[in-house]
């Protein structure tokens, strides 16, 4: 049925044939190039993503404290903030609920902007804010949403409740 030396002859011919090895080598090279390009693209996208998110405004807003419930209509509360982002941000306004409130810098980690109403926080800097509820009184035991607004109109809320009598 088989010729003598038929299989051996075909195997020798296959091993000597350069055409038979070229597709295998080409496939290996193609796979290696594809893997290398995909690794390069993944590294580039990772660096791009980290660069974009690191520069976004990220303000850490603490819990309200030091509620001052005065007999006048200008109660105030303190809020500590930290710039957790990768770029500077400017604190511009504040709201208590839907009402505008006066924002004053009571403490700043660089100690040069105390008492001002507009400040820049560099990455990692902290500030203690005095939020005055102008023309309004806090009601003890009622929760209030205090929102700090940056110059780019990004809002950072926190919620606190003034202590009851």
* Burial of 112 per CB tally in 10 Å (0-12, 13-18, 19+): exposed
Place of tokens 């700090």: 148
pLDDT at residue number 24:
79
Q: Could you tell me the pLDDT band of residue 159, with boundaries at 50, 70 and 90?
A: very high
Answer yes or no: are the C-beta atoms of 96 and 74 closer than 8 Å: no
pLDDT at 20 over 70: no
Pairing of strands 89-96, 99-108: antiparallel
Q: Could you tell me the pLDDT band of residue 156, with boundaries at 50, 70 and 90?
A: very high
Give the CA count within 13 Å in the CB-facing half-sphere of 165. Answer: 3
pLDDT at residue number 17:
65
- pLDDT for 66-120, tens place per residue? 888 876 667 889 999 999 988 888 988 899 999 999 888 887 766 555 555 557 8
Give the CATH class of 59-160: mainly beta
* Mean pLDDT, all residues of the chain: 81
Answer yes or no: are the C-beta atoms of 131 and 42 closer than 8 Å: no
pLDDT at residue number 116:
53
Q: In 3D, which of 164, 154, 162, 161 has the Cα closest to residue 81?
A: 154
Report domain extents, the chain.
6-54, 59-160
pTM of the model: 0.63
- Bridge partners for 154 per DSSP: none
């Amino acid at each position: 049925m088989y010729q003598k030396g038929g299989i051996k002859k075909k195997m020798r011919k296959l091993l000597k044939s350069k055409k038979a090895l070229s597709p295998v080598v080409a496939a290996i090279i193609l796979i290696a190039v594809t893997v290398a390009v995909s690794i390069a693209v993944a590294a580039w996208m990772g660096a791009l993503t980290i660069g974009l998110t690191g520069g976004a405004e990220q303000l850490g807003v603490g819990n309200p404290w030091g509620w001052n419930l005065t007999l006048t209509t200008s109660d105030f509360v303190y809020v500590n903030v930290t710039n957790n982002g990768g770029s500077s941000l400017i604190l511009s306004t504040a709201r208590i609920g839907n009402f505008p409130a006066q924002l004053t810098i009571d403490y700043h980690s660089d100690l040069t902007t105390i008492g001002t109403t507009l400040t820049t926080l560099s990455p990692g800097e902290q500030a203690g804010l005095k939020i005055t509820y102008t023309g309004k009184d806090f009601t003890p035991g009622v929760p209030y949403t205090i929102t700090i607004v940056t110059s780019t109109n990004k809002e950072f809320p926190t919620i606190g409740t003034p202590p009851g009598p």
